[in-house]
């Protein structure tokens, strides 16, 4: 059973909203993955690459309701990569009717940047291109949320967050 619904998010199109309270660190749901984009099954005209997650070099098209997770510079949820599945986890308590949001830069090695309209006190004004564009204090805050594949691919760049130094 799902305890979320899709509805209008003020000024941001559709969003995902809680139908019950979720406690901090509680799994909200397993993310609905439609399919992996491959050479054999490339993006089609009906596919929206904005509704995709990167996972260990693979592009995964996300189904409803998860494709409507909006960005926030102060998100109340994050994605936890668990083998082939991705869980949506509450970062803090989420109340009934509250929009569930994620920071698109967590586990993001690079991409596009756009003006942010999340409206939180921590709004950065622009999303940035990758995790490494985040202020260092936010990188440190998000470090425990990083996927194993992201950690292994970016060991050298992440060394300063672990308090170590790197030779590259």
Q: Quick: pLDDT tens for 17-58.
A: 999 999 999 999 999 998 888 889 887 778 777 777 777 777
User: Quick one: pLDDT band at residue 167, thresholds 50, 70, 90?
Assistant: very low
Express each pLDDT in 114-128 by its tens digit: 899 899 999 999 888
70, 149, 80, 102: CA torsion to nearest 10: -20
Residue 34 φ/ψ, nearest 5 degrees: -70, -50
Our count of domains for the chain comes to 1
Distance separating alpha carbons of residues 16 and 168, to the nearest angstrom: 41
Determine, yes or no, domain membership for 167.
no
Determine, yes or no, domain membership for 143.
yes
Determine, yes or no, domain membership for 46.
yes
Distance separating alpha carbons of residues 120 and 71, to the nearest angstrom: 11
Q: What is the pTM of this model?
A: 0.89
Percent of the chain with pLDDT over 70: 96
Determine, yes or no, domain membership for 70.
yes
Residue 77 φ/ψ, nearest 5 degrees: -145, 170
Distance separating alpha carbons of residues 149 and 54, to the nearest angstrom: 10
Enclosing domain of residue 141: 4-162
Strands (E), the chain: 4-9, 13-18, 27-30, 33-37, 52-55, 58-62, 70-71, 77-82, 85-90, 99-102
In this structure, what CATH number is given to the domain that contains residue 131? Answer: 2.170.270.10
Strands (E), 12-109: 13-18, 27-30, 33-37, 52-55, 58-62, 70-71, 77-82, 85-90, 99-102
Determine, yes or no, domain membership for 51.
yes
Of the listed ranges 7-11, 40-44, 68-72, the one predicted with least confidence: 40-44
């Amino acid at each position: 059973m799902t305890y979320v619904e899709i509805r209008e998010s003020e000024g941001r199109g559709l969003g995902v909203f809680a139908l019950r309270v979720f406690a901090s660190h509680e799994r909200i749901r397993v993310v609905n993955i439609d399919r992996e984009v491959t050479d054999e099954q490339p993006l089609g005209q009906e596919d929206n690459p904005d509704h995709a997650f990167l996972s260990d070099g693979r592009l995964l098209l996300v189904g409803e309701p998860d494709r409507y997770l909006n960005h926030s510079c102060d998100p109340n949820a994050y994605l936890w990569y668990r083998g082939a599945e991705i869980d949506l986890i509450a970062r803090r308590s989420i109340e009934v009717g509250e929009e569930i949001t994620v920071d698109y830069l967590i586990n993001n090695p690079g991409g596009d940047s756009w003006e942010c309209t999340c409206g939180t006190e921590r709004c950065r004004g622009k999303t940035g291109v990758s995790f490494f564009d985040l202020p260092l204090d936010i990188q440190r805050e998000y470090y425990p949320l990083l996927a194993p594949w992201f950690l292994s691919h970016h060991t050298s760049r992440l060394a300063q967050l672990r308090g170590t130094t790197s030779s590259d």
